[in-house]
Chain A
Amino acid sequence: MMQKPIHAALLVGSPRGPNSTSNSLGTYLLEKLEQQGVTSEKVYLSQCLGSEEKKDAMLRLVDESDLIIFAFPLYVDSLHSQVIKTLELIAEYEMGKLNLDKKKIVAISNNGFPEAKQNEIALAVCRIFAKQIGFTWAGGLAMGGGGMISGRPLNELGGRVRNQKKALEIAAESLMNGEAIPTEAVSLMAKLGIPGFLYVWMGNRGWKQEAKQRAITKEMYNKPFKA
């Protein structure tokens, strides 16, 4: 049994910052926690790593929080460089301190492919990070089909994200009960609101339309560096 969280830090690891799906998902979880009395702060890693002052503030925020939520997109099968850089910095800052197990780590990963399971390595990296530093791993949530959210608030998206909203609500409830994120939330988070084949068809059609609008239908296939 973990302790009920008091102060949560949301670290948004998308280079798109406030306009990202990672922000949409992390913010929804944060709101559910706030409704149950948790205080919280949110930072965008793309901004934090830009200056020493903001970087130090982010590290202090992590130090002062007992629930740390990482929300990020899958990048080349794992974490974006800014997220792994943040993990390296936190490790350096926190390693060896007392009572590190009181800090709970949660990760939310999303990707643009329809399969949530492609996020498995990214979540494993966060779990290994927590274990190596001595933090408590409170669980990870993964979703595919991030393109359906595209940085919009979940409450504006209707039924297509009902599974993800429910998953985040269950996760918040479990964390408030001092429990890790349950399997039910993990399964719901992974469940696409539309059939996978339809998501793929819509994605391909979307890129073709975008190319047509920009008059780059042929150029899109350019091979500028052919060997």
Chain B
Amino acid sequence: MKALVLNGSKTEKEEVNSVSDYLVDFLRTNNYEVDVMILRDEKIASCLGCFGCWLNTPGQCVIKDAGSDLPRKVIQSDYVFLLTSVTFGMYSSELKKALDRFPCPVLLPFFKRINGEIHHAPRYDKYPSLVAIGVLPNPDEESEQTFATLVGRNGINLHTNAISSIVYSNDKPDLIKEKIVAAFSKVGV
């Protein structure tokens, strides 16, 4: 089984990095093949919204940088982990920069009705499960609810199941590990 870990921390000091370390350790202990991308160290341009991945090179991003390999990495993974500080209820700009680069190439431009709403039709038969782990300094109901809803909606748009979990900066390592395992079990591992 393959897992892609997208570490969206903006600095080395963020708790997101500890979460990433615990997660990768857990995955490798359980014999997953793990690909970790520390996004702040990668050259990834922002999506241009050009539709080139639909019309010029269908299924592939036209920007040539570390982000152009994301659609392949995502589609060839069984699980994609999104690690981020919860930023006003959503992902950090580092994580979002990467996330903006892969949904369009892995989907078709055509519309499809799903649960009464319109979304893009799938390009592939199978998509990886999404697990998003957000870090907050303290409990914050509004941010946590928005984050959970966002991750759930990403799952709908990417035709997969998606689970979110919140870690607090002052959580002890054992509790963080417990939360990782709990999120993992919810997504159907």
Contacts and interface: CB of A to CB of B under 8 A. Distances in A.
Nearest to A131: B142
A14 B88 contact: no
Contact of A113 (B88, B97, B117, B123): B117
A125 B54 CA distance: 29
B34 interface: no
Contact of A204 (B87, B91, B110): B110
Contact of B146 (A14, A114, A125): A125
A13 to B, nearest CB: 11
A59 interface: no
Q: Say whether chain B's binding surface is mostly helix, strand, loop, or mixed.
A: mixed
Interface stretch (B45-53, B164-172, B177-185): B45-53
A84 B55 contact: no
Contact of B59 (A81, A211, A224): A224
B96 interface: yes
The residue in A82, A87, A113, A128 that gathers the most chain B C-beta atoms within 10 A of its C-beta is A128
B134 interface: no
A207 B54 contact: yes
- B interface, how many residues as a size bin? 35 or more
Interface residues of A, number: 49
A15 B47 contact: yes
Interface of A: 14-16, 46, 49, 73, 75-82, 84-85, 87-88, 113-115, 118, 120-121, 124-126, 128-129, 131-132, 196, 200, 203-204, 207, 210-211, 214, 216, 219-227
23 contacts: A15-B48, A16-B48, A73-B49, A75-B47, A76-B100, A76-B154, A77-B150, A77-B154, A78-B90, A79-B96, A80-B46, A80-B100, A81-B99, A88-B93, A115-B117, A121-B146, A128-B142, A129-B88, A204-B111, A211-B55, A220-B108, A220-B109, A224-B72
Give the 8 A-B residue pairs with the shortest CB-CB distance, closest first.
A85-B93, A81-B97, A81-B96, A225-B72, A77-B153, A129-B88, A225-B75, A15-B49
